[in-house]
């Protein structure tokens, strides 16, 4: 088993049921990498519809970027992840520590196998197979950085009843109200009658587009 570390979480679900609806694909996470140090954090998520979400935190600053993989690109990445099979690998600790050194945790679930968890340091030395697996994940991060655009919600956006917001997975929600203290926003799904409550401060992390301005 790879040596324990803390800070980075990568969850990969590399098998989809053929009957999954598109709406399910937009909310199904195939891969999630959550990287953090004492200096900051970034989270990479790949959804089943090909959306890549990259969120970054630096102190009080937060950014959200989205990119899209075509179906052929997505299938190719899933095949490579499925074929890489990192197995039970041992990392060789680098011995480098500090506030700027990331520690990592990978949780991997491949069709037909049990879920496996790997922990490693970003600067550790890895066996070739596991290193190749990590390079695939890094490629996804590079694509997100190259193609993604920051959340296009208007600067200083303040939600109003009737506004329609598009969540990062493509699902539309309408603003229907606010919590008593005014700090939470009540939203209802436009297709599925799902009601959710989101803190105003987290709207930009979860929604990336204003589709319609309310009356």
In the chain, count of helices (H) and strands (E)? Answer: 4, 13
| Predicted confidence (pLDDT) at residue 56 exceeds the cutoff of 80 | yes
pLDDT at residue 78 tops 50: yes
CB proximity list for 116: less than 8 A, separation 6 or greater: 88, 107, 108, 109
Structure tokens at 13: 């679900």
Contact between 207 and 192 under an 8 Å Cβ cutoff? The reply is no
Higher pLDDT, 17 or 189: 189
Domain 9-150 classified CATH 2.60.40? no
Distance CA 70, CA 5 (A): 34
Counting Cα atoms < 13 Å in the Cβ hemisphere of 66 gives: 20
User: Where residue 16 falls among pLDDT bands split at 50, 70, 90?
Assistant: very low
Tell me what the mean pLDDT of segment 208-214 comes to: 82
Distance (Å, whole) CA 70 – CA 51: 9
Of 49-58, 104-113, 118-127, minimum mean pLDDT range: 104-113
pTM: 0.60
Domain boundaries, the chain: 9-150, 164-212
Instruction: State pLDDT tens for residues 131-164.
Output: 888 899 899 988 888 876 656 777 778 899 999 9
User: Residue 5: its pLDDT value, please?
Assistant: 37
Return the pLDDT at 73: 92
Q: How many CA atoms lie within 13 A of 102 on its CB side?
A: 15
The whole-angstrom distance between residue 2's C-alpha and the CA centroid of its chain comes to 23
- The residues near 30 (Cβ < 8 Å, ≥ 6 apart) are 12, 13, 14, 16, 46, 47, 48, 78
Q: Which residue has the higher pLDDT, 72 or 113?
A: 72
């Amino acid at each position: 088993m790879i040596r324990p570390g803390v800070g980075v979480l990568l969850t990969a679900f590399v098998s989809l049921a053929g009957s999954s609806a598109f709406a399910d694909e937009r909310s199904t996470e195939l891969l999630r990498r959550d990287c953090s140090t004492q200096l900051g954090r970034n989270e990479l998520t790949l959804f089943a519809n090909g959306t890549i979400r990259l969120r970054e935190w630096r102190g009080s600053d937060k950014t959200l970027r989205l990119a899209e993989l075509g179906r052929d690109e997505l299938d190719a990445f899933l095949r490579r992840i499925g074929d890489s099979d990192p197995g039970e690998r041992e990392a060789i600790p680098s011995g480098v520590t500090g506030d700027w050194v990331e520690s990592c945790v990978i949780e991997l679930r491949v069709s037909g196998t049990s879920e496996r968890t790997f922990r490693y340091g970003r600067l550790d030395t890895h066996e070739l197979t596991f290193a190749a697996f990590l390079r695939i994940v890094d490629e996804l991060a590079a694509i997100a950085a190259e193609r993604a655009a920051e959340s296009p919600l208007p600067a200083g956006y303040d939600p109003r009843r009737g506004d329609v917001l598009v969540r990062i997975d493509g699902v539309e929600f309408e603003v229907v109200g606010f919590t008593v203290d005014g700090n939470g926003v009540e939203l209802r799904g436009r297709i599925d009658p799902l009601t959710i409550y989101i803190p105003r401060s987290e709207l930009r992390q979860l929604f990336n587009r204003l589709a319609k301005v309310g009356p």
